């Protein structure tokens, strides 16, 4: 079993999917000879040829629309957009077409495509390279938003996304591309979509997060454990459709909840989870739900970026407030 | 029956004035008889190259963020900006340090920007120029807006927008070009065709023979220029700007050049292009070409060269020192330019980030 990091796990899943299904086409800017700017598609063109691993012109709107057409024709396009900040020209294709082709044609045409993009801050990248606008995509009906946070989940969830008959926006937390190595069995087994993952069981407080913030959140749970607090940590993994069962049963047990995300606070996906808890889980709550998030400003360039990113300290402060509430 | 009608002359003009060996191959424009002006172009190219070198070195030692060098393309930026009037407006891509320097953006500002500090885009000099456009091609439509504003006010000014070969594949490019054509806007589109968009070669970018011919599809003027010949670049851009300011419409200029560096400091070009291609292109690079010409004219000596290199080194070193000494921004500043004034809903967030950063420094 190979020890791989999250990025290598993405590469493994792409390789496996291309091996097992001829309909899988990998495309995007620089995904061929260069192997992708992060090297997620490294080696694919050598292995599967330039017909199936396609370097495209620089044209996000065009290649996203092209993927819709390919998908409607029963191919399985896996499109790489180089950074989340460059998906925006393609929003028209995503919101008006990819997400609703099935609905518009009452199931006659479908759109089994995957749009992969690295996202998130904390790597001292240039302007427009540190976006976390996952909530924008989660707001689009008909679209799945999937975010892996470990090598195993990257492998299993990407395979699941490619197998899935509907469009998936698959966002890769680039800050943790190389943070953790795991033994990932290359068995072609998908993990379930639409399910949260309980990364750590606990009984006193539920910490909910996704993507790169998993790192600080798990560290927070460790620290709380030293204080004798047992924290449950949930990786949402599929933002939409949301697995409220896992979240509710955890909060029923703990009665306390902190949601952590890097994206700006207002309109962030944490608000949706908090709203669900307020609507349907209020009686389990022993304290108000707290959010630890990025601020409501443009994610700063590197000089101020670290002040923007939710820190372990902020997570601990919020958790303690929630724990002390009575 | 198909009836073929000739609608367009598919001839694309190409201007080259100095050959790769620095010998004139075309008629020299008037400004070229003034050696001082040529020397100014030369100095700007040398300074740009020195800045790029130092910026890459800073990045390699962890003191600057990812950086896009303009090595080999200095003549495009310098020639374009030299052709502009002060009150024209430049809308650059992220690889136009040469143009920015000539426009009066300081080296410290450029370094601050690439060092991850928004204040680097708050130019003291060219107040109306746009900051570098990172989302490729997104600057083209802005140029049409700037040009429309000039036209509405009946000003004899123009906008100049620069993008790469890759950017011409984006909708933004075509949309801007098309609109500028119908509305006859005073804008000059310059494509710095350095033959590569990261790993995607010019051939894989479009099946069109030239990028300049894309102008024909929207009914505007399109031409090519030797982008490693700063005299030619300045000449054709000046000509296009005169037309634009005189209300004679927009143009597209494709400057043929070559990216001698990696795409950015985060790239490794040896993965996708052969070294032989790069070394062949070194023979056509713009700086030594103009130096040869100036030397042949007797307008430039070895001593001049030595003085200039020393001066440029000192200038860049001073800028680097000033850049490295830049006080860090305060954490709360991330809110200060979001809106004209801070909405009350954000006051708490600003306070929080300030307090937390103070705790961090105290701790
Ligand atoms: C819309 C968009 N897509 C992708 C990128 C990532 N990217 C940055 S530069 C670049 C290639 C640009 O090529 P070109 O336009 O030829 O300019 P050059 O880098 O050669 O100066 C790409 C794909 C981006 N910045 N913006
Ligand atoms: Mg290019």
What is the pLDDT, as a whole number, of residue B361?
A: 78
pLDDT in tens, B13-53: 999 999 999 999 999 999 999 999 999 999 999 999 999 99
Phi/psi-derived region of residue A167, left when phi > 0, alpha when psi is between -120 and 50, beta in every other case = beta
pLDDT in tens, B253-298: 999 999 999 999 999 999 999 999 999 999 999 999 999 999 999 9
Domains and CATH numbers, chain A: 3-183 (3.40.50.970), 197-324 (3.40.50.920)
Is A129 labeled as catalytic in the residue annotation? yes
Where, residue-wise, is CATH 3.40.50.970 in chain B? Answer: 13-329
Residue of A97, A124, A128, A129 marked catalytic: A129
B6 pLDDT higher than 80: no
Give CA–CA dist B214/B136, Å, rounded.
18
In contact, B38 and B32? CB cutoff 8 Å: yes
Atom of ligand 1 nearest to the CA of B136: 26
What is the pLDDT, as a whole number, of residue B3?
A: 73
Q: Are residues A59 and B333, on separate chains, in Cβ contact within 8 Å?
A: no
B7 pLDDT higher than 80: no
Give CA–CA dist B92/B128, Å, rounded.
12
To the nearest whole Å, the CA of A105 is away from the closest chain B CA by 27
Mean pLDDT, to the nearest integer, of B205-216? 97
C-alpha dihedral sign at A184, A186, A190, A193 = positive
The pLDDT confidence band at residue B8, using thresholds 50, 70 and 90, is low
What is the pLDDT, as a whole number, of residue B78?
A: 98
Cα A89 to middle of ligand 1, angstroms: 13
- CA A171 to chain centroid, in Å, comes to 4
What is the pLDDT, as a whole number, of residue B363?
A: 67
Instruction: Give pLDDT < 50 ranges for chain A.
Output: none
Give CA–CA dist B270/A179, Å, rounded.
27
What is the pLDDT, as a whole number, of residue B9?
A: 63
Is B114 an interface residue toward A (CB < 8 Å)? yes
What is the pLDDT, as a whole number, of residue B10?
A: 79
What is the pLDDT, as a whole number, of residue B162?
A: 98
Exposure class string for B293-330: b at 16+ Cβ within 10 A, else e:
bbbeeeebeeebeeebeeebeeebeebbeebeeeeebe
Is A43 an interface residue toward B (CB < 8 Å)? no
Mean pLDDT, to the nearest integer, of B233-241? 98
Give CA–CA dist B343/B335, Å, rounded.
10
Give CA–CA dist B299/B306, Å, rounded.
14
B2 pLDDT higher than 80: no
In contact, A257 and A251? CB cutoff 8 Å: yes
Give CA–CA dist A239/A170, Å, rounded.
10
Which residues in chain B touch residue A45, judged by CB atoms under 8 angstroms apart?
none
B4 pLDDT higher than 90: no
To the nearest whole Å, the CA of B204 is away from the closest chain A CA by 7
ipTM above 0.85, yes or no: yes
Asked: is B13-329 a CATH 1.20.120.160 domain? The reply is no
What is the pTM assigned to this prediction? Answer: 0.96
B1 pLDDT higher than 80: no
């Amino acid at each position: 079993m190979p020890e791989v990091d999250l990025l290598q796990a993405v590469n493994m899943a792409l390789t496996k999917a291309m091996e097992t299904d001829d309909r899988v086409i990998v495309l995007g800017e620089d995904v061929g000879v260069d192997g992708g700017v992060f090297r997620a598609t490294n080696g694919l063109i050598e292995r599967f040829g330039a017909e199936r691993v396609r370097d495209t012109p620089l044209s996000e709107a065009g290649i996203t629309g092209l993927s819709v057409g390919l998908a409607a024709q029963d191919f399985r396009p896996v499109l790489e957009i180089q950074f989340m900040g460059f998906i925006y020209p393609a929003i028209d294709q995503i919101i008006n077409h990819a997400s609703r082709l099935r609905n518009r044609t009452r199931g006659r045409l479908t759109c089994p495509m995957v749009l992969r993009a690295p996202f998130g801050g904390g790597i001292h990248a240039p302007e427009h390279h540190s976006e976390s606008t996952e909530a924008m995509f989660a707001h689009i009906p008909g679209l799945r938003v999937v975010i892996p946070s470990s090598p195993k989940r990257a492998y299993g969830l990407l395979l699941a996304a490619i197998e899935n008959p509907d469009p998936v926006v698959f966002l890769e937390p680039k800050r943790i591309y190389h943070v953790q190595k795991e033994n990932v069995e290359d068995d072609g087994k998908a993990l379930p979509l639409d399910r949260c993952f309980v990364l750590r069981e606990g009984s006193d407080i539920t910490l909910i997060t996704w993507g790169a913030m998993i790192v600080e959140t798990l560290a927070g749970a460790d620290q709380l454990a030293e204080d004798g607090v047992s924290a449950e940590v949930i990786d949402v993994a599929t933002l939409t459709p949301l697995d409220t069962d896992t979240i509710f049963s955890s909060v029923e047990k703990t009665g306390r909840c902190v949601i952590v995300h890097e994206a700006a606070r207002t309109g962030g996906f944490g608000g949706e989870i908090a709203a669900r808890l307020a609507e349907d889980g209020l009686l389990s709550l022993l304290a108000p739900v707290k959010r630890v998030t990025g601020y409501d400003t443009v994610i700063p360039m590197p000089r101020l970026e670290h002040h923007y990113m939710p820190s372990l300290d902020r997570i601990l402060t919020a958790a303690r407030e929630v724990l002390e509430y009575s | 029956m198909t009836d073929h009608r000739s609608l367009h002359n598919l001839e694309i003009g190409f201007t080259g004035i100095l050959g790769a060996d620095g010998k004139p191959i075309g008629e020299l424009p008037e400004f070229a008889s003034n050696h001082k002006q040529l020397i100014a172009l030369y100095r700007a190219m040398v300074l740009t190259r020195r800045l790029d070198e130092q910026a890459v070195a800073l990045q390699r030692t962890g003191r600057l963020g990812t950086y896009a060098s303009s090595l080999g393309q200095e003549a495009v930026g310098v020639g374009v900006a030299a052709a502009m009037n002060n009150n024209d407006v430049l809308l650059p891509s992220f690889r136009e340090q040469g143009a920015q320097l000539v426009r009066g953006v300081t080296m410290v500002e450029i370094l601050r920007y690439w060092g991850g500090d928004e204040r680097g885009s708050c130019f003291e000099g060219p107040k109306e120029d746009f900051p570098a456009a990172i989302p490729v091609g997104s600057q083209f439509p802005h140029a049409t807006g700037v040009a429309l504003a000039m036209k509405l006010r009946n000003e004899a000014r123009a906008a100049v927008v620069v993008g790469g070969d890759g950017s011409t594949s984006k909708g933004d490019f075509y949309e801007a070009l098309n609109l500028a054509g119908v509305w006859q806007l005073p804008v000059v589109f310059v494509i710095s065709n350095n033959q590569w968009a990261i790993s995607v070669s010019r051939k894989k970018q479009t099946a069109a023979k030239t990028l300049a011919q894309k102008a024909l599809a929207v009914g505007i003027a399109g031409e090519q220029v030797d982008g490693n010949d700063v005299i030619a670049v300045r000449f054709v851009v000046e000509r296009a700007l005169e037309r634009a300011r005189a209300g004679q419409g927009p143009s597209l200029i494709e400057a043929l050049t070559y990216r001698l560096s990696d795409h950015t400091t985060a790239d490794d070009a040896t993965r996708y292009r052969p070294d032989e291609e790069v070394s062949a292109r070194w023979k056509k690079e713009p700086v030594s070409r103009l130096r040869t010409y100036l030397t042949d004219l007797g307008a430039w000596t070895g001593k001049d060269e030595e003085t200039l290199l020393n001066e440029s080194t000192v200038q860049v070193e001073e800028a680097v020192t000033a850049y490295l000494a830049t006080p860090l921004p305060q954490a709360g500043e991330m809110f200060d330019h979001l809106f004209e004034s801070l909405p009350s809903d954000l006051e708490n967030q600003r306070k929080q980030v300030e307090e937390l950063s103070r705790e961090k420094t105290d701790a």
